[in-house]
Amino acid sequence: MKSSLPKLSFKFTLPYDIIFLIIKSKGESNLNILFGKFKEVLYSVLPITTIVILLNFTISPLETNVFISFLIGALLIILGLTVLLSGIDIGITPFGNLIGSALTKYNKLWIVIISGLILGFFISIAEPDLHVLAGQVDIVTKGAIPKLTMVAVVSVGIAAMMTLGIVRILYNIKITIMLLIVYLFIFVISLFTTSDFLAIAFDASGATTGAMTTPFILAMSIGISALKKDSKSSEDDSFGLVGITSSGAIIAVILMSLFFRNGGMSGGEAVAKIAESDSIFLSFLDMLPTISGEVALALLPLIVIFVIFQIISFKLKTKSFFKIVKGFLYTFLGMVLFLVGVNAGFMNVASTVGHDLASMDNKAYVIIVGFVLGLVTILAEPAVYVLNEQVENVTSGSVKRKVILIALSAGVGVAVALSVLRVLVPGIKLWHYLLPGYILALILSFFTPDLFVGIAFDSGGVASGPMTATFILAFIQGAAQSIESANVLIDGFGMIAMVALAPLITLQILGLIYKAKTAKEGVNDNALNS
C-alpha cells in the first residue's frame, strides 16, 4: 500500500516577513551583507570581551600570553562568525527553504522520512556549537566519550526528531500534544541514566540548535508549512520544529548512556590549557589543518545533497546555483575561523577566569559575574532583537519588544547564576532545576496560544548561541574545577540546558499576558489559538 501525504496547495505565502536568525539580504551586495553581519557579531562578542578585559585589570589578572591569545581568539571569532552568518544567509537558508518546498511536492511519506533523516543528520554534523560541546565532553571525560562519537549520536537523535516534526506539520498534529509526549518520554528514560549524562544530554539539546542548524530548520519548516491551504495553520506550524528537533539530542545521549554504564566515566581537569609555546600564534596555526579537515567533512554531505536536488528537483538558474555554492564556501571559511578562535584562545581564558573567581574566599564574585555574563550575552545576541520584533508584530504591539528583552535577559542571567550556584552547593542537582522548569513549561503550553508555544520552544536556540556554548560553558567548568566538592563532569555541564529553558517559560508567560490583554480589550484572539 502506498503511503501519501495530505494534499497541499502550492500557493507560496510566507507567514511573516521576519524569521528570527534570518536577516534578509535581497538586493544587497556581498560587501553590505558582510558589513551588516560584522556589526551584529561585534555587538555579540564585544560585551564579553570587555568584561574579560576589566577582570584582567582588576580582580582576575591573566598571564600576558594568555590574555593576548584571548584577544586573538576574540578577533578570529568575530571574523569567523561574520563570514559564517553571511554564508548561512546566502547558502544554507535558501537551501533549507528549497528542500522544504521540494519534499512536499513529492507527496510521498517515505520520501519525506528518508530525506528528513538524511538532512537532519548532516545539518547537525555541520553545527559548530555541537563540535565545541563535543570537544569539551571528550576532554572532560578523558576520551571516554570521543568527540566524533558524541557528534554522531546527537545527530542521529536530531535526524529522527526532525523527521517526526516534519510529519507533525504535514498531518496538523497539535504541537502541545507532541511536546507533551516527547518530554514525558524523556522524563521516563531519564530515570535510567546518571547525573553526568543527564547534564550532557540537556546541554546537547541547546548546543545543537545553533547558528547552522536553527536557520536551516526554520527555513525548511517555512518551506513546508507555507504550501498548506490553511494560512492560519501555516503560520502556527512555521514555529516549533526547532524545539521538537532539539529534543532528539536529549533522547540520543540518554540512550547512549546505557552503553557506558558498565565502563563508567571519570571527570577530567576541565578544558584544555593554553599551549606552552614560545609563539602565541603557533597554537592557532597547529589547530588550523585539523579543524579545516573536520569542517570540510562536515559540509561535504550537504553540498552533495544540494547538487543531487539541483539535478532532480531545484533546477536553479546558473546564477542562483553558484550563489548558494558561494554561501557554502563562506560557511566553510567562517566555521574554520570560528572554531580555531574558540579552541586556541577564547575558551581557555573563560575557564581560567571561572577558576580564579570561584577560588576566591568571597563566592559572590563568581555568582555576580555569571549573572552579568548571562545578561550581556542575551542582550548582545542579534537574533534576540529579531525575535523581539517578531513577537511585537504578531501581537500588534501589545507585547513590547523592550519587555521581551528585559524578560529574556533577566531569565538567562538568572539561569547562569543558578548554574554557578549548583557548582558551589553540593546538594543542588541539575534535575532540581530542569524537572519543575519543564513541567511548568509543558503546563503553560496548554494555556498559551499555539503560536507562542512554537516560538517559545524554538527560542532556546536563540538564547543558547555561540557565546553561551563557548565562553560561558568554559567559565562554568573552570569554576567547577576549583571547587573541591564539585565534579567537572556533573556540575560543569547543564548550564546550556538552563539557558535554553529560560525562554520556554518567559515567552509563554508573555503569550498568556497577550491573551489576557486581548480578552480584556474584547479582541478576538482566535487568530493565535488552534
On whether residue 383 sits in a domain, the answer given is yes
> What distances in angstroms separate CA 303 from CA 94, 129, 245, one per listed residue?
13, 20, 22
Residue 529 maps to a domain: no
> Which of 25-39, 66-80, 164-178, 233-247 has the weakest average pLDDT?
25-39
Tell me the pLDDT of the chain averaged across its residues: 79
Residues 6 or more apart in contact with residue 29 via CB below 8 angstroms: none
Residue 393 has pLDDT above 50, yes or no: yes
CB atoms within 10 A of CB 405: 16
pLDDT digits 0-9 by tens, 302-358: 899 899 888 888 888 888 899 999 999 999 999 899 889 888 878 888 888 999 999
**Integer angstrom CA distances of residue 242 from 137, 212, 221, 390, 463:** 23, 12, 9, 16, 13
Provide the grid cell at 360: 576566591
Tell me how far apart the alpha carbons of residues 240 and 223 are, in angstroms, rounded to a whole number: 14
pLDDT digits (tens, 9 = 90+) for 396-408: 676 677 777 788 8
Inform me whether the pLDDT recorded for 134 exceeds 50: yes
Classify burial at 313, counting beta carbons within 10 Å of its beta carbon; exposed 0-12, middle 13-18, buried 19 or more. middle
H-helix segments, 344-429 = 347-359, 364-380, 382-394, 401-424
Residue position matching grid coordinates 508584530: 393
Flag whether 528 is in a domain: no
Query: For residue 38, is it within any domain?
Result: yes
C-alpha distances (whole Å) from 305 to each of 105, 288, 493, 512 are 17, 26, 34, 42
Q: Can you give the residue range of the structural domain that contains 214?
A: 30-516
Mean pLDDT within 269-290: 66
Above 70 in pLDDT, residue 29?
no
Residue 393, in any domain of the structure? yes
Cα–Cα distance, 456 to 502 (Å, whole number)? 9
In this predicted structure, what is the pLDDT of residue 22? Answer: 38
Rounded to 10 degrees, the C-alpha dihedral 340/344/350/351 comes to 130
User: Coil, helix or strand for 346?
Assistant: helix
Residue 351 lies in a domain: yes
Domain count along the chain: 1
Show the cell assigned to 514: 497577550
Nearest to 201 by CA among 153, 163, 242: 153
Whole-angstrom distance, CA of residue 377 vs CA of residue 313: 41
* pLDDT of amino acid 225: 65
**Confidence grade of residue 3 (pLDDT, cut at 50, 70, 90):** very low
CA distance 168 to 367: 41
Full DSSP string of 84-147: HHHHIIIIIHHHHHHHHHHHHHH-BHHHHHHHHHHHHHHHHHT-HHHHHHHHHHHHHTTTSS-H
Scan for cell 547562569, then name that residue: 416
For residue 277, the one-letter residue type is: S
- Is a pLDDT exceeding 70 seen at residue 362? yes
* Residue 51 is assigned to a structural domain of this protein: yes
Predicted pLDDT of residue 154: 94
Cα angle at 495 between 345 and 465, to 5 degrees?
60
Q: What number is the average pLDDT over the span 194-216? A: 82
- SS3 sequence of 238-266: CCCHHHHHHHHHHHHHHHHHHHHCCCCCC
Rounded percentage of the chain residues whose pLDDT exceeds 70 = 80
Q: Would you say residue 15 lies in a domain?
A: no
